[in-house]
Amino acid sequence: MNRFIFVREKAIDFLNRICKAHSLNFNEVFSINDALIEEAVVDYFADLIRLKEFHNIEKAKPQKVAAYTSYWVFRRKPIQWISNPDDDLLLRFPNIKFINELFAYTLLINLVFDEKSRFADSNPRYKVFRDLLMYNFMYRQLNSQILELVIVALSTDPNRAFLTETEHSE
């Protein structure tokens, strides 16, 4: 029950921020489907039980919890449109049609990091990462293992230098 309440409250907070930023009335535009949140939570726990039994572990790592929670929210898509977005809204916020993908992404990042302190908006590498991850949520096939890999990769040494394009072309 706690996981259900947590996801539902995060969805409400997320939608309130979206609605405030785009001058929308939450109750006229969106609804949260509790049955789909319940399905996501049941699927999450079923996966974790299987993983714990298979790997003979008592407690899942936070990265796994974040990955599996956000993955099942992504799969079940609990945010529903009450009315179609108008053309003006789509012009101002073209990705709003991917509201569940945006929510799953936000949930993933917020379960793992304090986004404001971990990643500065001025960091160009983070913007590339954020855009690529959102693109993957919107257009690619994702699974919980890939999301866990992303989380683990984000916790590695951020000061490690990458090869440049010119180093690859030689």
Classify strands 79-81 and 30-32 as parallel, antiparallel or unpaired. antiparallel
Rounded to 5 degrees, what are φ and ψ at 21? -65, -25
Which SS3 state, helix, strand or coil, does residue 119 take?
A: coil
Retrieve residue 110's tokens.
């917020």
pLDDT tens for each residue of 53-98: 988 989 888 889 999 999 999 999 999 999 888 888 888 888 889 9
pLDDT tens for each residue of 19-55: 999 888 888 899 999 999 999 999 999 999 998 998 8
For all residues of the chain together, what is the average pLDDT?
A: 86
Residue type (1 letter), 40:
A
- Please list, in sequence order, all residues whose beta carbon lies within 8 angstroms of the beta carbon of residue 110, skipping any fewer than 6 positions away: 10
Query: What is the spatial distance between Cα 131 and Cα 125, in angstroms, rounded to a whole number?
Result: 10
Retrieve residue 112's tokens.
């793992």
Question: Is the sign of the CA dihedral 86, 121, 75, 135 positive or negative?
Answer: positive
Half-sphere exposure of residue 44: CA atoms within 13 angstroms, side-chain side? 25
pTM for this prediction? 0.84
**Angle 21-25-30 from CA coordinates, rounded to 5°:** 100
E strand or H helix at 164: none
Question: Is the sign of the CA dihedral 55, 136, 66, 68 positive or negative?
Answer: negative
Is the model's pLDDT at 170 over the cut of 70? no
